[in-house]
Amino acid sequence: MHDPGGLRGERASVTDPDGWVDQHGDGLYRYAMLRLRDPDVAAELVQETFLEALRSRLAFEGRSSERTWLVGILRHKVIDHQRRASRERPRADHNAAEGFFDDQGFWRVGPASWPGDPALALERREFWDVLHGCLAKLPPTLADAFLLRELEGLDTEEICRLESINPTNLWTRLHRARLLLRDCLEKNWFGRRPEQS
């Protein structure tokens, strides 16, 4: 993400911190809210991100975009916060995602055929609204593991270390998260109305 205004951006942050907050505040807060689902902690970590970034502005050499740099700082803070929380309060695997299969292991209700090309949904604002609604419905334990895997792209070993769980626990959480999300998307988007192509 090339930012030709990189150096200019740095000077802007020094001479106009207010504008800097206006420019990047929403983006950072949305990312924090997606990961944390807690407005108070999100606000706190976003503030700490701006403070730390302003103090260390000399370290920003304009190689990546300013937003990317700030998100990187915030990402570390979110990870640290969650790692501490996992250690202090280890969470058991959630019992959600029961009931998709019967006693014999068959689907109770098989996945429906999603009409057309599901990728077209990604171009629709309303789809993202539905997706975030579905994410918000996930049990926090499952959401955290799923986002570390799918949003942050961390591998099994890294997530297990952060969450203090073993790989089998992790794979169970991811499996349940995927079952629940798929089901929610089908009920609220793909199954409800046919996609116009």
Partner 1 sequence: MGHLKSIARLLTLPCDEVARLVSESLDRPLPLPERAALRLHLVYCVACRRYRRQALFLRRVFDRLTPWSDHAATVGLPPLPPEVRERIKRALREI
- From CA 50, how far away is CA 98, in angstroms rounded? 42
Interaction of residue 51 with partner 1, rule CB under 8 A: yes
Rounded to a whole number of angstroms, the minimum distance from the CB of residue 156 to partner 1 is: 6
Interaction of residue 130 with partner 1, rule CB under 8 A: yes
Token pair in block for residue 152: 């942050």
- From CA 123, how far away is CA 21, in angstroms rounded? 28
Interaction of residue 3 with partner 1, rule CB under 8 A: no
Contacts of 109 (CB under 8 A, 6+ apart): 100
Q: How many CB atoms lie within 10 A of CB 124?
A: 13
Rounded to a whole number of angstroms, the minimum distance from the CB of residue 29 to partner 1 is: 4
Tell me the C-alpha to C-alpha distance, in Å, between residue 77 and each of 33, 129, 156, 178. 13, 26, 20, 26
Interaction of residue 194 with partner 1, rule CB under 8 A: no
Q: Judge residue 48's burial from the number of C-beta atoms within 10 Å of its C-beta, 0-12 exposed, 13-18 middle, 19 or more buried.
A: middle
Q: Which of 91, 114, 158, 169 binds partner 1 (CB under 8 A)?
A: 114
| Beta carbon nearer to partner 1, 89 or 95 | 95
Interaction of residue 71 with partner 1, rule CB under 8 A: yes
Interaction of residue 191 with partner 1, rule CB under 8 A: no
- Binding region for partner 1 (CB under 8 A): 17-18, 20-22, 25-31, 33-34, 39, 43, 46-47, 50-51, 54-55, 67, 71, 100-101, 104-107, 110-114, 118-119, 122, 125-126, 128-133, 149-151, 155-156, 170-171, 174-175, 178-179, 181-182, 185-186
